[in-house]
Amino acid sequence: MNKVAICDDHKIVREGLKQIISVFNDFEVVADVESGEALFHVLRNHTPDIIILDVSLPGRSGLEVLKQLKIMNPDIKVLVLSMYPEDQFAIRMLKAGASGYLHKDSEAGILLDALTKISRG
């Protein structure tokens, strides 16, 4: 079972992601938080296999959070999920160490495919 943490500043998005992920037997949401600071707090007690990270967060941006995550644990897998077009942020996020980048308009099946591919390396 792959453990997933969700970091998005919109509660309804986190709730929707939890519902979608709960349908997939290979994944379990172990935490959902609204900011990078809250994510770092959770990481003191949980070690998720994958983090779903929004680009736009209160306080530190998703890019800053990603960079800090990779310093803390270079092997951590991060799927960036954003409302911004791929041409604006995807390259920067991937260069910073993201394992994948999805637009929030993506279908649930694409999310599953991305999580599966990321979990397999």
Q: How far apart are CA 44 and CA 58, in angstroms?
A: 20
Model pLDDT for residues 18-35, shown as the tens digit of each residue:
999 999 889 999 999 999
**3-class DSSP state of 28:** strand
Task: State residue 118's pLDDT score.
Answer: 97
Q: What is the pLDDT along the chain (121 residues), one digit of tens a residue?
A: 999 999 999 999 999 999 999 998 899 999 999 999 999 999 999 899 999 999 999 999 999 999 999 999 999 999 999 988 777 789 899 999 999 999 999 999 999 999 999 999 8
**3-class DSSP state of 14:** helix
- Per the structure, the count of domains in the chain is 1
Q: What is the CATH number of the domain that holds 17?
A: 3.40.50.2300
27 lies in some domain: yes
Q: Write down the pTM of the prediction.
A: 0.95
Task: State residue 120's pLDDT score.
Answer: 94
| Domain residue limits at 53 | 2-112
73 lies in some domain: yes
118 lies in some domain: no
119 lies in some domain: no
103 lies in some domain: yes
117 lies in some domain: no
Give the list of residues 6+ apart from residue 78 with CB closer than 8 angstroms, or none: 50, 51, 52, 53, 66, 69, 70, 97, 98, 99
Cα 72–chain centre separation: 16
